[in-house]
Amino acid sequence: MVGSAILVGVILAYALFSKFLAKTPITGPIIFVLFGVLAGPEALDLVTVGLTSDTIQVILEGTLVIILFTDAAVIDVAAARKQLTIPTRLLTVGLIGTIAAGIALAAAMFGELGFWGAAVVAVTLAPTDAALGQAVVTNDLVPSPVRQGLAVESGLNDGIAVPFLAIAIAGAAGEMTSGSGFIQLFVEEIGIAIIVGLAVGYVGGKLIALCSERGWMSREWRQMSVPILAVLCYLIATPLHGSGFIAAFVAGLVFGKLVRDRYPDVCTLSEATSYLMTMLSFFLFGALLLGPRITDITWEITLYAIASLTVIRMIPVGIAMIGSRFTLRTVLFLGWFGPRGIASLVFAGTVVAEYDPVSTEITLTIVSATVALSVLLHGLSAWPLSNIYGRWVAEMDAESDTGEVQDVDEIRVRHRVTPVSAGIRNTQRNP
pLDDT tens by residue, 367-385: 999 999 999 999 999 889 9
Q: Is residue 270 part of a domain?
A: yes
Task: State mean pLDDT over 299-316.
Answer: 96
In a domain, 431, yes or no: no
The CB density around residue 272, as the number of other CB atoms within 10 Å, is: 13
Q: Note whether residue 390 is domain-resident.
A: yes
* Whether the predicted pLDDT of 417 surpasses 80: no
The CA distance from 228 to 159, in Å, is 19
Mean pLDDT of the region 25-49: 78
Is 429 contained in some domain?
A: no
CB atoms within 10 A of CB 358: 10
Looking at the domain assignment, is residue 428 inside a domain? no
Is residue 146 included in any domain, yes or no?
Answer: yes
d(CA 202, CA 198): 6
Answer yes or no: pTM beyond 0.75: yes
Decide if 294 is inside a domain. Answer: yes
Q: Coil, helix or strand for 145?
A: helix
> Of the given ranges (16-30, 143-157, 161-175, 377-391), which has the lowest mean pLDDT?
161-175
> Which string of DSSP letters, residue by residue, matches 391-412?
HHHHHHHHHHT--S---GGGS-
130 close to 151: Cβ distance less than 8 angstroms: yes
Percent of the chain with pLDDT over 70: 82
Confidence (pLDDT) at 44? 59
Task: Say what percent of the chain tops pLDDT 90.
Answer: 40
Residue 258 is part of a domain; what is its CATH number? 1.20.1530.20
When divided into structural domains, the chain yields a total of: 1
- Regarding predicted confidence, which is higher, 318 or 183? 318
Residue 430 placed within a domain: no
- Provide the residue range defining the domain that includes 153: 2-423
